[in-house]
Amino acid sequence: MGDAAMKEFGAAAPYLRKSDRERLEAQTRPFDMKKECFVPDPDEEYVKASIVSREGDKVTAQTEKGKTVTVKECDIHPQNPPKFDKIEDMAMFTFLHEPAVLFNLKERYAAWMIYTYSGLFCVTVNPYKWLPVYNQEVVVAYRGKKRSEAPPHIFSISDNAYQYMLTDRENQSILITGESGAGKTVNTKRVIQYFASIAAGGGKKDTGSEKKGTLEDQIIQCNPALEAFGNAKTIRNDNSSRFGKFIRIHFAASGKLASADIETYLLEKSRVTFQLKAERDYHIFYQILSQKKPELLEMLLITNNPYDYAFISQGETTVASINDAEELLATDEAFDVLGFTQEEKNGIYKLTGAIMHFGNMKFKNKQREEQAEADGTEDADKSAYLMGLNSADLIKGLCHPRVKVGNEWVTKGQNVQQVYYAVGALAKAVYEKMFLWMVVRINHSLDTRQPRQYFIGVLDIAGFEIFDFNTFEQLCINFTNEKLQQFFNHHMFVLEQEEYKKEGIEWTFIDFGMDLQACIDLIEKPMGIMSILEEECMFPKASDATFKAKLYDNHLGKSSNFQKPRIVKGKPEAHFALVHYAGTVDYNINNWLVKNKDPLNETVVGLYQKSTLKLLGTLFANYAGADSAESGKGGKGGGKKKGSSFQTVSALHRVSKVKYLRVKTDFHSVIQIF
């Protein structure tokens, strides 16, 4: 496909394929295949060089920087001829090795060609800037083309999945993987944009609400709504998804858009009440404070200063790349397009505001007693007002909760520390349940009841994370990525070779050295890290110290993946290190037992259930904790068993991880993002 054929791609053409002139120049450039090579370099991994001489197993070469080096023969990698420069599918290389792949990606990236194929993969390198490669004429240009007929692009992957679905009459899945900040969420949005555009049903807007949009509008508008409440600035990424999602887009037998649904995995709820210095809480808090809708500040009884609210001002409060005011309008409009009522929207905003006030409640110990009491009630009054509760009942529930001892209910005293912990846990629970309710509500809007035959699933999970400070949340995220990578490796390298044998191709089985099972077993098998954590949560006197001792007794010196952390001056404290596929990560285990048990003050939960704010009552309607009043009730209809919905975070994480790894997946479509 030359310059003339690329005209249909419009302004995107130079970002997708090199010109005829550049291609011709490459083919006529002088090149000596026997001399041109790559050699290792301490600063850049590899540099281009030309061989000067050989002696035994040593090779002397002059690098393109003019430096003469002598290296072992086995460290020399031959360069590919110039006609392969900026090649679109790296599987076509004459010499396929690490430096050839790195240089090709680097040179394409320098020309802003961010998409490159590597056999079955599409590799994406994040440009960290807007490129004109996603507009409508590009969508049209990729429509109905085979992969080999157009330049590499996320739209080509999407269109191929769509065509495979229709011709093979089989569901498809697109797997988007990569480290935190690589650009997975943006590419997920582009995939959804493509399907919404090419398969639009052309139906009229829902007449029930003048603001409610068409199905294709609604599918696209899921993103601003979910991102406002589920994305935040991290050290690595200004708009990091702090939850995983699997989006199914359902099609009719004709290929027309029929409906969609979203499944989410483990929102990082600890961020609601705590952020690292260079990070930020969820976008929605700062959107509301932007004053773009001043009526919200009035309704929520809040100022426009984030530093007035302890929960949301522990890190950064502004992000240069994000306009919170504009984003608030996008979030609010998304709710309208998705058909949320004004009452539902107000409920969401009120609970978000209540969480901000929750973090400001003050408590003190009574004189000569280890018993907490309110230190002023202004913030409790505001929280209670927004949550549809009685303020005195809220304070009493926090300071004097009722707990079950045997068959009796007794009032238990709480010290200040216990009350503050309960406040944080309740705020996180409200936010998490509200987020999950939003997903259910969005799915309700996207369920059109139209006949549906097939779906294309898009998996976008939190990327692998290695920060200076890594804790329970990072272990959960990294474990999921380890599991997914193993599943992927098995599919790409093991099953593929078995397919060769079935087809009678002469083939010597290659072990690619990509078995991640040892690390997975260390985390999830009996007496693994999660198992020991579960066990410790059952012992009343267990602590972080006893948990660490058990980890060391069971794994240090017995598993090469479990190590003592490196002590580096100025770095946060770490208690153990795990060797993952993407690198060695040091973990800090402070508060893991508490995070895993995740207990709630059930007296306050009881107040939530009776709230006059309809949404809050709905969120906790089915709550049954470890000792909830309802959990012991029997009688007709068989009440819930004790602890029927009380599960530790690690147990829930394993369930959700297994759930999406069992998704019927056909890997025609894999996007690896860097």
User: With 0-12 CB in 10 A as exposed, 13-18 as middle and 19+ as buried, what is 222?
Assistant: buried
Query: Which of the residue ranges 88-92, 201-205, 413-417, 616-620 would you say has the lowest mean pLDDT?
Result: 201-205
Tens digit of each residue's pLDDT (9 = 90 or more) over 123-145: 999 998 999 999 999 999 999 99
Percent of the chain's residues with pLDDT above 90: 70
Mean of the per-residue pLDDT values for the chain? Answer: 89
Whether residue 440 lies inside any domain: the answer is no
Q: Which residues contact 406 (CB under 8 A, 6 or more apart)?
A: none
Whether residue 551 lies inside any domain: the answer is yes
* pLDDT at residue 211 in the model: 63
Whether residue 570 lies inside any domain: the answer is yes
Phi, psi of 34 (to 5 degrees): -75, -25
Whether residue 355 lies inside any domain: the answer is no
For residue 519, the SS3 value is helix
Whether residue 476 lies inside any domain: the answer is yes
> Does the annotation list 208 as a binding residue?
no
| Whether pLDDT at 544 is above 70 | yes
> Cα–chain-centroid distance for residue 320?
22
- Cα dist. 337→69, 203, 210, 247, 330 in Å? 63, 15, 9, 18, 10
Q: Could you list the residue range(s) of the whole structural domain that residue 495 is in?
A: 472-590
Whether residue 515 lies inside any domain: the answer is yes
> Does the annotation list 408 as a binding residue?
no
Residues paired with 45 in a beta bridge: 41
DSSP 8-state secondary structure symbol assigned to residue 18: -
* Range ranked top by mean pLDDT from 55-69, 488-502, 659-673: 55-69
Q: Which residues are catalytic?
A: 180-181, 185, 237, 240-241, 463, 465
Greater model confidence, 480 or 82 = 82
> Does the annotation list 180 as a binding residue?
yes
**In terms of Cα–Cα distance, which of 43, 37, 28 is closest to 60?**
37
For residues 14 and 131, is the Cβ–Cβ distance under 8 A? no
* pLDDT at residue 485 in the model: 82
* pLDDT at residue 638 in the model: 39
Rounded CA separation 260/247 (Å): 7
CATH code for the domain in which residue 478 is found: 1.20.58.530
Tens digit of each residue's pLDDT (9 = 90 or more) over 621-642: 998 764 444 433 434 343 444 4
* pLDDT at residue 497 in the model: 80
Number of domains in the chain: 1
State mean pLDDT over 286-314: 97
Tens digit of each residue's pLDDT (9 = 90 or more) over 188-229: 999 999 999 998 865 444 444 456 789 999 999 999 999 999
Query: What phi-psi label fits residue 406: left (phi over 0), alpha (psi between -120 and 50 degrees) or beta?
Result: left
Rounded CA separation 95/158 (Å): 29
Whether residue 450 lies inside any domain: the answer is no
> Does the annotation list 144 as a binding residue?
no
Q: How confident is the model at residue 463 (pLDDT cuts 50, 70, 90)?
A: confident
For residues 325 and 288, is the Cβ–Cβ distance under 8 A? no
**In terms of Cα–Cα distance, which of 158, 183, 294 is closest to 239?**
183
* pLDDT at residue 630 in the model: 40
CA atoms 143, 147, 151, 156: torsion sign: positive
> Does the annotation list 245 as a binding residue?
no
**In terms of Cα–Cα distance, which of 303, 347, 306, 570 is closest to 441?**
347
State mean pLDDT over 22-38: 92
> Does the annotation list 178 as a binding residue?
yes
Percent of the chain's residues with pLDDT above 70: 91
Token duo for residue 545: 């110290």
Where b means 16+ CB within 10 Å and e means fewer, 427-453 reads bbbbbbbbbebbbebbbebbebeeebe
Q: Vertex 524, ends 522 and 527: CA angle to 5°?
A: 70
Q: How confident is the model at residue 667 (pLDDT cuts 50, 70, 90)?
A: very low
Whether residue 542 lies inside any domain: the answer is yes
